[in-house]
Structure 1
Amino acid sequence: MEIKARAPGKVILAGEHAVVHGSTAVAASIGLFTSCSLRFHSDSENDDTLKLTLKDLGLEFSWSVGRIRETLSHLGGPFPLTPTSCSRETIRSISVLVEEQSFPEARIELATGVFAFIWLYTSIQGFKPATVVVISDLPVGAGLGSSAAFCVSLIATLLAHSDCVSLDKNQQGWLSYGDSDLDLLNKWAFEGEKIIHGKPSGLDNTVSTYGNIIKFRSGNLTPIKSNTPLKMLITNTKVGRNTKALVGGVSERTFRHPYAMSSVFNAVDSISKELSTLIESPAPDVLSVTEKEEKLQELMEMNQGLLQCMGVSHAVIETVLRTTLKYRLPSKLTGAGGGGCVLTLLPALLSRTIVDKVKTELESCGFQCWVAGIGGNGVEVCFGESS
């Protein structure tokens, strides 16, 4: 039996960078997914390999299961119910397996994802020959939580083939895990994110696991229930950014101008809190929805101005802002800034013609655009016969 899982990416609606300095941030799942399928090899196939196929990138990696068992014999797993950090000994051993693979020079950043794959697979399923295929709507390194969605969708397939979660494998369509199973999955995903990013906040994997909208401050996560469907235009500037350097730049500016930057962070905190309250507020009629959307747009626009104060905008981000403002649609960067992606709230009554015009103009600048719902379901799985 083949199992598939899909996990959403994420955007930060308000509070990026300021959250590092104690302010509130608001993040949401988006209707763009990373999907993962898992099929164990049968005895009749005589295929003793573990294969990872990144379909969108046209890349495949494979290892002999015997080679993996020999290299990671000290693990003694699998231990699906016990998420643990990757030990230094295991890091050294997996590094050898990863270094045996060929990575295109332009894709060397994928090595940490492959590293996380080996660790998560062997920790949860041990040394079984299988083929894992990954397909994603999410661009890598654009601030949309692609690595977390990869970890969450992978772990969802691995746990579904274990005895430690409760799923009806005869049920058709996409299924959701129960709360306790999601908690286990999220802990594993955090371990995967630690391998890829070193010191992640845990926000990306949490949003990808549980979905919906989350308020985040000082490590505390609070779910937010939206009473109004929200839709965003997401524009990928295709300009890569160094998150660590951008975070460091904000810290340096804070050191040079502590009082001014403290006021900036306090303002961002107020915006995030007001935005989360507004999202939860009821909107019983069209007029109420329109007023709510206008207020959300204003808050996002104010947040963008404060991000510019922090020094994390970029010429390409400003190009997106100018373009969408022609159509009276304010925008803000999402994530680290310095490139990456930009968010534009699309009001419910906005015509499809205007949306298409905005997309066409942005794409003519070389950008990539999607329209996606905000705050939808988290990770889901489905079962089917192997082809």
Structure 2
Amino acid sequence: MEVRARAPGKIILAGEHAVVHGSAAVAAAIDLYTSSSLHLLPAGEGGGSGGGAVELDLLDSGLTFSWPCSHLRGALGECCKAEAPRPCTPDELATIAKLLEEHEIPEAKIWLSAGLSAFLYLYASILGCRTAKVVVSSDLPMGAGLGSSAAFCVSISGALLTAAGMVGAGGGSRGEGWELFEKDDLELVNRWAFQGEKIIHGKPSGIDNSISTFGSMIRFKKGDLTNLKSWNPVKMLITDTRVGRNTKALVAGVSERASRHPDVMSSVFHAVNSISEELSSIVELAAEDEIAITSKEEKLAELMEMNQGLLQCMGVSHASIETVLRTTLKYNLVSKLTGAGGGGCVLTLIPTLLSKLVLEKVTAELESHGFRCFKVEVGGPGLQVCRG
């Protein structure tokens, strides 16, 4: 049996950082995916000491890991085939860490350890210790604020739950080979993926895995999520500055600035909230002709521009981000950072009437700075599965 699953990355259209201080934010899925292929094997195949093994092939990193099923069963027996999603205990995490010590992970890729830990926990909890080969690849740059870890956890959880017969029994809706699950199935996948995200990030908000699972757009504020329906295609150019950043330090920096200037920063956060609320309303408007679409896009661009100005007020911009802003402005395009800032990725709204030549020129100029660009459509489907 083979199951393939893919889950999208995400962007923050408005509200990052301010959301921590009670403002609304808007996030959306993008058509860049992390894909997982799960191939269940007969018990004696796949290596191991006569009882098979679980093999994980990370194509983008060029690394392959394998654990004998008997070894996993002995180490993770308590969490095998859990009845419902639950957090990984400290003892289980310690056991998983010992399993990872059996493999020499290159120092430059030691950050993979958290993802490997999430994989082993999800695999044992959902599928037990059955012999299988799992192959993972991704369109998403790692650690750039596009939800790569959530997409990993969602695609893995979706493949495992499908193979275990726990989701997809109703068939869902099908199209071009990919299957879209019903809401109840997606909610189960999301709960499991959240457990994986907790292993990777400690205390995630749950927003990234929710967007990756359900897709589309959401408005979120103080823990409440509202689904948004975008009636017109929204396209963005994502520029990965390739500049790493410390998210925790950036979040802490905004909080420190708020403590030094409480009245000013309260006004900033209030303004960001207003931007997120207005943007939510605009994306749900149906524009039926070229004039209406252009008007809608101009309003979105203005809100993005204002949001970027407020993010600069918060102190989370960066020289690389400013380079992207200056470059796109030369072509009358509006950009804003997405996520934590301090580097990472920048969004540029692509108007419907923008010529292909102009887009090629701005992309080439951005890439001449050593950046990496992706053209994406915003607000598409979430988890999709294909069974063979």
1:6 corresponds in structure 2 to: 6
1:263 corresponds in structure 2 to: 267
Separation in 1, partners of 2:9, 2:261: 34
1:84-110 CA-to-partner distances (Å, cap 9, x unmatched) read: 000121111111111222212111111
CA contact (8 A) 2:11 2:29 kept: yes
1:335-365 CA-to-partner distances (Å, cap 9, x unmatched) read: 0000000000100111111110011000010
1:30 corresponds in structure 2 to: 30
Kindly provide the amino acid, as one letter, of the partner of residue 99 in structure 1: E
Kindly provide the amino acid, as one letter, of the partner of residue 40 in structure 1: L
Where structure 2 has 5 or more consecutive residues not aligned to the other structure, the ranges are none
2:86 corresponds in structure 1 to: 84
Separation in 2, partners of 1:56, 1:113: 14
Kindly provide the amino acid, as one letter, of the partner of residue 93 in structure 1: T
Q: Give the Å deviation of 1:163.
A: 2.6
1:94 corresponds in structure 2 to: 96
SS in 1 for 2:105: coil
CA contact (8 A) 1:5 1:382 kept: yes
Separation in 1, partners of 2:334, 2:172: 45
User: 2:240 matched to 1:236?
Assistant: yes
Give the alignment's TM-score, normalised by structure 2.
Answer: 0.96
1:164 corresponds, among 138, 141, 166, to: 166
1:317 corresponds in structure 2 to: 321
Separation in 2, partners of 1:146, 1:113: 10
1:21 corresponds in structure 2 to: 21
User: 2:90 matched to 1:103?
Assistant: no
Q: Give the Å deviation of 1:61.
A: 1.1
Structural RMSD (CA): 1.3
CA contact (8 A) 1:170 1:383 kept: no
Kindly provide the amino acid, as one letter, of the partner of residue 318 in structure 1: E
Q: Give the Å deviation of 1:170.
A: 12
User: 2:53 matched to 1:54?
Assistant: no
Kindly provide the amino acid, as one letter, of the partner of residue 93 in structure 2: I
User: 2:191 matched to 1:187?
Assistant: yes
1:51-90 CA-to-partner distances (Å, cap 9, x unmatched) read: 1111011111111111111111233x302x5000001211
CA contact (8 A) 2:46 2:53 kept: no
CA shift in 2, pair 1:170/1:230, >3 Å: closer
CA shift in 2, pair 1:197/1:170, >3 Å: closer
Separation in 1, partners of 2:113, 2:370: 27
Separation in 1, partners of 2:306, 2:43: 60
Separation in 1, partners of 2:291, 2:267: 34
SS in 2 for 1:357: helix
Kindly provide the amino acid, as one letter, of the partner of residue 183 in structure 1: E
2:157 corresponds in structure 1 to: 155
Kindly provide the amino acid, as one letter, of the partner of residue 31 in structure 1: D
User: 2:360 matched to 1:356?
Assistant: yes
CA contact (8 A) 1:68 1:127 kept: yes
1:42 corresponds in structure 2 to: 42
CA shift in 2, pair 1:73/1:155, >3 Å: same
2:222 corresponds in structure 1 to: 218
Percent of aligned positions with the same letter in both sequences?
59
1:139-167 CA-to-partner distances (Å, cap 9, x unmatched) read: 11000000000000001100101232234
CA contact (8 A) 1:14 1:272 kept: yes
Separation in 2, partners of 1:296, 1:267: 15
2:182 corresponds, among 162, 178, 184, to: 178
1:226-261 CA-to-partner distances (Å, cap 9, x unmatched) read: 011000000000000000000000000001000000
SS in 1 for 2:8: strand
Kindly provide the amino acid, as one letter, of the partner of residue 246 in structure 1: L
SS in 2 for 1:84: coil
1:276-308 CA-to-partner distances (Å, cap 9, x unmatched) read: 100001211100000000010010010000000
Q: Give the Å deviation of 1:13.
A: 0.1
Separation in 1, partners of 2:258, 2:44: 63
Separation in 1, partners of 2:275, 2:386: 39
2:117 corresponds, among 115, 118, 132, to: 115
Q: Give the Å deviation of 1:44.
A: 5.8
Separation in 1, partners of 2:157, 2:46: 26
> Which structure 1 residue ranges, 4+ long, deviate > 4 Å from structure 2?
169-172
2:350 corresponds, among 346, 367, 373, to: 346
1:135 corresponds in structure 2 to: 137
61-70 or 28-37: which moved more?
A: 61-70
Equivalent pairs counted in the alignment come to: 382
Q: Give the Å deviation of 1:135.
A: 0.7
Separation in 2, partners of 1:84, 1:333: 34
Residues 57-76 of structure 1 aligned to structure 2 (within 5 Å): 57-75=61-79
Separation in 2, partners of 1:211, 1:31: 10
SS in 2 for 1:45: coil
SS in 2 for 1:57: coil
1:208 corresponds in structure 2 to: 212
Separation in 2, partners of 1:307, 1:100: 44
